[in-house]
Amino acid sequence: EVQLVESGGGLVQPGRSLKLSCAASGFTFSNYYMAWVRQAPTKGLEWVASITNSGGSTYYRDSVKGRFTISRDNAKSTLYLQMDSLRSEDTATYYCTRGFAYWGQGTLVTVSS
Amino acid sequence: DIQMTQSPASLSASLGETISIECRASEDIYSNLAWYQQKSGKSPQLLIYAANRLQDGVPSRFSGSGSGTQYSLKISGMQPEDEGDYFCLQGSKFPLTFGSGTKLEIK
């Protein structure tokens, strides 16, 4: 059974950093593209970043480019999202997804002073 | 960026009723279109991919159609468990973009 479990969310002040993790199990992690999608409270879904199966290529939405870094450790079957210079508009539940077919339960990031 | 215009924003349907939700892309997305259901407090669940392919385990009352810039999701015979929010996602070009969502309720 495919399982994706996010962690690392929490309350953080504007301008600070946070690193999210997504532990994957139930499939061969190194075979799949992965991505992060976020959802602000009571809002719609927003793609954040994607990474190829090898980690050799990454893609970001413009509003996070230069501030967020997606990465993966295939030996640990774990996906990461390093979030720097956080802004209030980054407040959202962050979902890890395998190819947009399987999704984790999400982790809430709140950026507030 | 490809804009996904989803309609209607909300919909109320009776049990057994057939409903449709539409997504229009601002340019051709070559059937790179998926549909999701999201229930309150839960993560999205994939219903349809590649515009018309039913995800394993999804009831056959869900179907997708369309091509080019126009796509639709149909539920043939509304059931109580179909209440929720529905989103489309275009996977043709970065940045990937979602529709704004449709809230589906039982009348």
Task: Dump pLDDT digits (tens) for A17-49.
Answer: 999 999 999 999 999 999 999 999 989 999 999
Q: Given this model, what pLDDT does residue A41 score? A: 93
A3 touches chain B (CB under 8 A): no
Percent of chain B with pLDDT over 70: 100
Q: A44 and B101 in contact by Cβ < 8 A?
A: yes
Q: A47 and B87 in contact by Cβ < 8 A?
A: no
Q: Given this model, what pLDDT does residue A103 score? A: 98
Task: Dump pLDDT digits (tens) for B45-81.
Answer: 999 999 999 999 999 999 999 999 999 999 999 999 9
B89 touches chain A (CB under 8 A): yes
Closest CA to B74 of B97, B100, B96, B102: B102
Of B44, B45, B95, the CB nearest to A45: B44
Shortest distance, CA B66 to any CA of chain A (angstroms):
20
B49 touches chain A (CB under 8 A): yes
Burial of A109 (0-12, 13-18, 19+ CB in 10 A): buried
Closest CA to A68 of A88, A46, A90: A90
Q: A100 and B101 in contact by Cβ < 8 A?
A: no
Q: Given this model, what pLDDT does residue A104 score? A: 98
What's the token pair of residue A26? Answer: 């139930």
Q: Given this model, what pLDDT does residue B65 score? A: 98
